[in-house]
């Protein structure tokens, strides 16, 4: 276990800089049971910030695995109404969310993929109102703390693995850089400046190429907006959705993505590793997909709904980011996505289109923003990645050269 003072500082950072819990606001926490010690600290810091209440949604992966292997799928997929009502009630009342990501990346490797898929679809449908409300209207953040299973995946057979993972987590969220709140303010301002520069350029497309074989053109609508750093809720409260974060991102034109895209890191989805993913896009949709490992899970992911075959996010992260420089494969999307340029299959962001907050679901689709039950990030960045911005006049402008910002 790390130094308690530093751990409490981390909890305070998550509450006040991440979710930015307001006085009189309720906080919901989603966390694995193994992280109860950190949830307690989060709750203490939330009440110190003036939270009206703290409610926890626990996740117990080992129990989940037993249920997936023993409970009939028709029972698993009947999500109890009281669970749906519990979450919807919190969101409707404006509760902020802190999600603690510390899962075992391989816990479900021996579970029938069809069962996982069926439950995932049922849960995404059941909790769609909750997640849409939180993601579009409220403050939320995702943080991580080492769990025994996650530590074992990252540092197998290393007796010092837990200490090393804690050190990496604290470094990634800038707890080792003096005043972490001030450092986060400076860091998010730097990210915002990159987003501002991209918004000035008004590119109509980005062309990705690297030696892995990625050769992809991603269309951008003229109403697209690049975001990064701190976000703002519908009530005007700033928050940081991911801690750590290194990305500048937008939602691409869901109907205008063409070419071949190859992953550069494994994707852990539902406890299954998907390695060496190759996706071929035509007119926005995936028309072929393969993987050296986890291919069945990948195919099931793409078949969740029509939007699962389309991109909801394009995110730019320089290869020399602090997380990339650690040289650690975290098997945790929160960390791995901030070491690499990445995309997300599925739902796009209303903040990434002008006027998106006031659009209906149909209007967002018409504006090119993808919709889906899922939002799954996967990594594509490499040290030799080139990204070229294409203007409406056909000019080609280097955006990334050898994995680094060029503008």
Q: Where does residue 44 fall: left (phi above 0), alpha (psi -120 to 50 degrees), or beta otherwise?
A: alpha
Are 338 and 245 contacting, i.e. CB atoms less than 8 angstroms apart?
yes
Q: How far apart are CA 318 and CA 247, in angstroms?
A: 8
DSSP 340: S
Tell me phi and psi for residue 250, to 5 degrees. -150, 175
According to DSSP H, which parts of 277-329 are helical?
295-302, 322-326
Are 387 and 203 contacting, i.e. CB atoms less than 8 angstroms apart?
no
Strand, helix or coil for residue 231? strand
Q: How far apart are CA 11 and CA 35, in angstroms?
A: 12
Are 97 and 134 contacting, i.e. CB atoms less than 8 angstroms apart?
yes
- Single out the residue of 388, 2, 7 nearest to residue 198, CA to CA: 388
Write out the two tokens for 230: 């701190």
- Would you say how long the chain is, in residues? 407
**What is the signed CA dihedral for 85, 88, 94, 95, rounded to 10 degrees?**
80
Sheet order of strands, 215-219 included: 285-290, 278-282, 257-262, 215-219, 205-209, 386-390, 396-401, 404-405
pLDDT of residue 273: 85
pLDDT of residue 117: 87
pLDDT tens, per residue, the chain with 407 residues = 788 899 999 999 999 999 999 999 999 999 999 999 999 999 999 999 999 999 999 999 999 999 999 999 999 999 999 999 999 999 999 999 999 999 888 888 889 888 988 998 999 999 999 988 998 899 999 999 999 999 999 999 999 999 999 999 999 999 887 788 888 989 999 999 999 999 999 999 999 999 999 999 999 999 999 999 888 898 899 999 999 999 999 999 999 999 999 999 999 888 788 999 999 999 999 999 999 999 999 999 999 999 999 999 999 999 988 899 999 999 998 999 999 899 999 999 999 999 998 899 999 999 999 999 999 999 999 999 999 999 999 999 999 999 999 98
pLDDT of residue 113: 85
Model confidence, pTM? 0.87
Q: Which residues contact residue 69 at a Cβ distance below 8 angstroms, ignoring those fewer than 6 apart?
A: 110, 111, 112, 115
Determine if the peptide bond prior to 74 is cis (ω within 30°).
no
Centroid of chain to Cα 198: 21
Q: Where does residue 267 fall: left (phi above 0), alpha (psi -120 to 50 degrees), or beta otherwise?
A: beta
Q: Which residue has the tokens 């950190």?
A: 38
Give all domains of the chain, ordered by start, each with its CATH number: 4-172 (3.40.1830.10), 199-228+244-405 (no CATH)
R_g of the chain, CA atoms, integer Å = 20
Q: Which residues, in sequence order, are bridge partners of residue 389?
A: 206, 397
Q: How far apart are CA 226 and CA 82, in angstroms?
A: 38
């Amino acid at each position: 276990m790390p130094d308690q003072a530093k751990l409490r500082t981390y909890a305070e950072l998550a509450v006040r800089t991440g979710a930015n819990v307001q006085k009189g606001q309720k906080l919901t926490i989603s966390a694995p049971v193994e992280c109860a010690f950190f949830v307690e600290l989060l709750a203490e810091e939330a009440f110190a910030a003036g939270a009206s209440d703290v409610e926890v949604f626990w996740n117990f992966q080992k129990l989940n695995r037993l249920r997936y292997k023993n409970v009939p799928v028709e029972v698993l997929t009947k999500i109890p109404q009281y669970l749906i009502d519990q979450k919807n009630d919190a969101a409707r009342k404006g509760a902020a969310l802190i999600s603690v990501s510390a899962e075992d990346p391989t816990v479900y490797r021996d579970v029938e993929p069809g069962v996982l898929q069926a439950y995932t679809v049922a849960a995404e449908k059941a909790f769609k109102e909750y997640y849409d409300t939180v993601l579009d209207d409220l403050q939320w953040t995702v943080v991580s703390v080492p769990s025994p299973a996650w530590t074992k995946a990252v540092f197998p057979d290393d007796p010092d693995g837990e200490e090393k993972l804690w050190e990496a987590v604290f470094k990634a969220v800038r707890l080792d850089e003096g005043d972490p709140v001030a450092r986060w303010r400076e860091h998010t301002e730097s990210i915002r400046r990159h987003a501002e520069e991209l918004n000035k350029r008004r590119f109509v497309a980005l062309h990705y190429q690297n030696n892995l074989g990625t050769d992809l053109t991603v269309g951008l609508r003229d109403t697209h907006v690049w975001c990064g750093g701190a976000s703002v809720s519908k009530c005007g409260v700033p928050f940081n959705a991911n801690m750590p974060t290194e990305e500048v991102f937008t939602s691409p034109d869901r109907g205008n993505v063409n070419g071949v895209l190859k992953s550069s890191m494994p994707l852990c989805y539902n406890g299954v590793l998907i390695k060496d993913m190759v996706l071929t896009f035509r007119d926005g949709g995936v028309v072929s997909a393969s993987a050296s490992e986890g291919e069945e899970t990948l195919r099931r992911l793409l078949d969740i709904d029509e939007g699962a075959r389309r991109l909801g996010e394009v995110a730019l992260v320089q290869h020399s980011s602090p997380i990339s420089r650690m040289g650690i494969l975290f098997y945790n999307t929160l960390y791995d996505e901030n070491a690499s340029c990445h995309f997300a299959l599925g739902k796009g962001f209303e903040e990434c289109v002008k006027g998106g907050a006031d659009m209906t679901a149909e209007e967002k689709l018409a504006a090119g923003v993808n919709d889906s039950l899922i939002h799954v990030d996967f990594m594509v960045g490499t040290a030799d990645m080139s990204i070229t911005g294409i203007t409406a006049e056909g000019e080609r402008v280097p955006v990334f050269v050898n994995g680094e910002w060029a503008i």
